[in-house]
Structure 1
Amino acid sequence: MTAPTRVHAFTDDALADHDAVELARLVRTGELSATEVEAAAVARMRAVVPQLHALAYEAYDAPRRPAEDTGLLHGVPTLLKDNTDLRGMPTNHGSEAIRARPATRDGRYATQFLSTGMTVLGKSRMPEFGLNATTEFRSGPPTPNPWNTRHSVGASSGGAAALVAAGAVPVAHANDGGGSIRIPAAAAGLVGLKPSRGRHLDGEMARTLPINMVSEGVLTRTVRDTATFHAALERHWRNPALPPLGLVEGPARRRLRVAMIMESVTDAVVDTPTKAAVERTATLLEEQGHSVEPVSIPVDARFGDDFLSYWGLLAFLAGNLGRLTIDRTLDTARLDGLTDGLRRAFTSGGWRQTPAALLRLRRAATAYAAVFDRHDVVLCPVVAGVTPPLGHLSPNVPFEELVDRLRRHVAFTPLQNITGAPAISLPMALSEEGLPIGVQLSAAYGDERTLLELGYALEEQSPWPRIQG
């Protein structure tokens, strides 16, 4: 067996080891030009993409540059995920069953994303329709983890995670319908904030869901990049129903009540390294002056089954109505094993449980909100274990076995998607094999500020692991 490979593109060029905020400052002051920064990013992409297979569409020769230089992140190179329309680039949703033409206009959320001033160099890879927790495919090459190319980089924003972790770009678009920002952040040693429902403009498809559980965001290497990105979004549009977020610039001094949860929504067993990472984070929080106490998970015991029922409904809608709602080229014979298995399970009888499941899922928001009557923050794992080897969650694994493996792995993140609460994954540890381990913090609906403030404090107290050593 070949030795595991660590892949990164960090070098002494215009990007250096800068985060997005610093690059934007250097461009703004004229110390670097946006052209220099863009060229460095393209060179890094060319260096690592052949190994990481993380790019769905390349736009090096025709990038989407900002019309004005007013965005907070003007001149910063980035990528858009392959499920969001951007004029001139195809949207294939990670599926081999689609051969989309270039979009003729920007999607609703893409317009807000572009307002930050970043330059889009292409589209990042994702698993089919974002349904899997690894960026692996029916027949194409998988997107491996740049920390160890034998392992998964998570999903569904896996291509984005791989390229940010490898240093090709400092920030990349991600979205999250069941953990798809936080899971790849945990796998790749990144910061990943899933904001509150309604914090940003919703994409076209999210607005049609029975329960809108999709949040848009980014994957970054620093808390301040994540904070600045969300502040930049508010300059374009802010939801008047939510408290303004503004620019969060550092830790707060207030002392918080933290609830620590080790019990998952799927009865999965948390592995030893992940449990240790959460417990160490609890100790760090106590050293900051916060109080931490263990609590039980506050939702119906059927939550895991109910979420799977909803997942089956989404696969059914994608597979059976996709020619009308996604792309007319969709060929159901080319769907991967997970999508096809979920939709077949739904049509063969799973649909009968769906109405009751949706009702219980909607009630989960009230139960989860009650936690914050006594606590300010919930601390828990992102997933139940260190990111698995490639192949473990492949869509080519027999369907029943794959679903069981997913339930044992994706054991914490869906709760915040259903309830609409914000949650952040922070890279708090490395396993003995040198793989990142993320820890999740969640707050009350609308309270991303507390999560970012805690993120700043933890980053300062225990700096994140670096892929370049």
Structure 2
Amino acid sequence: MTTFDERTIVHAFRDDALGEHDAVGLAAAIRRGEVSPAEAARAAQERVRAIDARLGAVQAHVDNPAPAAATDGAFAGVPAFVKDNTDYQGLPTGHGSAAFRPRAARRHAPFTQQLLSSGVTVLGKTRLPEFGFNASTEYDGAEPVRNPWNTGYSAGGSSGGSAALVAAGAVPIAHANDGGGSIRIPAACCGLVGLKPSRGRVVGSDLGRRLPIDIVSDGIVSRSVRDTAAFLAAAETHRRSPALPPVGLVEGPSERRLRIGFLLDSPNGVHSDAATRAAVTETVATLERLGHTVEPVELDMDPNFTDDFLTYWGLLSFLLGVSGRTLGADFDRRRMDGLSRGLREDYLRKWRRTPGVLRRLKRAKEAHAAAFRRLDLVLSPVLAHTTPPIGHLSPTVPYTQLIERLLAYVAFTPLDNIVGTPSLSLPSASATTQGLPIGVMFSARPGDERKLLETAFELEADRPFRRIQDQ
């Protein structure tokens, strides 16, 4: 495996058609005629070529990328990537797995159509860990995706490829999805904005509709709050959920002051490390200075929640092993990586518990709702400790040890997936001694993305996010 200087910073920002624009800014320049969609796509392709040998973020390229038909979309002409667990017509969907040879997709997935309705130019597919199970985009027998802020460290997972490209400035936004933290985790690791929308806010996947609890939400990772807000508004223009209040285009902070609860340690008993706690407490101080009421809160989580969520992930791995031939005729579950196999085997020992697991997980929304009876938002860490080095969460680590490490790391994000509530990862003002970003997380009631975005706009204006090109 290639060795890199652990303090290497990799970014692609330069004086070209993309400049330092975010997606909203680039789309505006394209509308004004200052940049053409073709020029933006070529600049992004050149940036990707310049950095991807060091980051390993791209799975596949579109041979001749063309702007989407939606020339009046919010992101018309903006280059972007689709995560490689979502179909893009003509490209194979590999799910990060070596267990099969993927076929070229015959049509776009429903979410791909929703993303294209914003006008983006898709340049290719980004890498993810096998089936999105891991919190780091690493492999058994292949190079990992590396963090552009420090290439000796993880870019997070499962949307690690997307996060690495956006953080490094190759493209302004990229598709991500989240079934247990997979938007918010890489956003936190790479210093990005990552919103997991409410269940049903964007179009669902065919797989999600078949699951007993649909835990996956699609979205993007971005470098600015306004890009995430513009994406959500564009997604609503394509298809608005009749079950949720509309969000509309959020363009800045609100004047109303909120009651915000905060916690430093996970409700399931996992303690956060000192740097992570400091990032949260600094955010608390900022919110109080801005006039919000902030107070400690306790979430009354079922003590079985962690084991139940792990069992549910095992169920997903089991179902993939059973239905894998739909992905490729040569699918062989014995070629799944150590984490996927371990989850499946663990589930086979516990499968009789499935009805109780599902019953308890579905009840989690009651405890979550109780916490919000007197609160507008809850602030917490995204992860229990700072971004680990490459190898710490590798699927080659023995399964029992790897699960212990994952549970000590991913202790805050899964609850919102089970409950279906919106949750936002935001870069804090802090950084690790290795120069890596530290994220903080805000969660809200179902359908209340507006409060999350308004608060994020206010924090971004008060303390602009660190920029990799300034380091």
Partners of 2:298 and 2:272 in 1: CA distance: 15
Alignment match, 2:352:
352
How much does 1:265 deviate?
Answer: 4.2
Alignment match, 1:97:
99
Alignment match, 2:49:
46
Larger mean CA deviation between 142-151 and 259-268 belongs to 259-268
Q: Deviations over 1:436-466 (max 9, x none)?
A: 0000001110000000000000001111111
3-state DSSP of counterpart to 2:295: strand
Native 8 Å contact 1:266 1:407 kept in 2: no
Alignment match, 1:125:
127
Amino acid at match of 1:37: A
How much does 1:357 deviate?
Answer: 1.1
3-state DSSP of counterpart to 1:384: coil
3-state DSSP of counterpart to 2:469: coil
Paired residues for 1:164-313 under 5 Å: 164-313=166-315
Partners of 1:353 and 1:393 in 2: CA distance: 27
Partners of 1:274 and 1:410 in 2: CA distance: 13
How much does 1:118 deviate?
Answer: 0.2
Unaligned runs of 5+ in 1: none
1:26 aligns with 2:33: no
3-state DSSP of counterpart to 2:85: coil
Q: Deviations over 1:405-427 (max 9, x none)?
A: 00000000000000001000000
Unaligned runs of 5+ in 2: none
| RMSD of aligned alpha carbons | 1.1
Q: Deviations over 1:191-240 (max 9, x none)?
A: 00000000011011111111001011000000000000110111110011
Q: Structure 1 residues 3, 107: closer, same or farther in 2, change over 3 A?
A: closer
How much does 1:332 deviate?
Answer: 1.5
Partners of 1:362 and 1:443 in 2: CA distance: 18
Native 8 Å contact 2:55 2:146 kept in 1: yes
3-state DSSP of counterpart to 1:11: coil
3-state DSSP of counterpart to 2:206: coil
Larger mean CA deviation between 173-182 and 366-375 belongs to 366-375
Partners of 1:177 and 1:2 in 2: CA distance: 32
Q: Deviations over 1:379-420 (max 9, x none)?
A: 000000111000000000000000000000000000000000
TM-score (norm 1): 0.98
Partners of 1:297 and 1:75 in 2: CA distance: 44
Partners of 2:330 and 2:172 in 1: CA distance: 34
Native 8 Å contact 1:265 1:303 kept in 2: no
Partners of 1:202 and 1:322 in 2: CA distance: 20
Partners of 1:48 and 1:164 in 2: CA distance: 12
How much does 1:64 deviate?
Answer: 4.7
Alignment match, 1:397:
397
How much does 1:3 deviate?
Answer: 4.6
Partners of 1:345 and 1:233 in 2: CA distance: 38
Native 8 Å contact 1:7 1:147 kept in 2: yes
Alignment match, 1:433:
434
Q: How many residues align?
A: 466
Amino acid at match of 1:442: S
Paired residues for 1:144-155 under 5 Å: 144-155=146-157
Partners of 2:269 and 2:124 in 1: CA distance: 39
Paired residues for 1:129-144 under 5 Å: 129-144=131-146
TM-score (norm 2): 0.97
Q: Structure 1 residues 265, 338: closer, same or farther in 2, change over 3 A?
A: farther
3-state DSSP of counterpart to 1:151: strand
Native 8 Å contact 1:68 1:117 kept in 2: yes
Native 8 Å contact 1:319 1:339 kept in 2: no
Amino acid at match of 1:377: L
Paired residues for 1:42-121 under 5 Å: 42-59=45-62, 61-121=63-123
3-state DSSP of counterpart to 1:242: coil
User: Which of the numbers 9, 13, 22 marks the counterpart of 2:16?
Assistant: 13
Amino acid at match of 2:176: A
Larger mean CA deviation between 444-453 and 429-438 belongs to 429-438
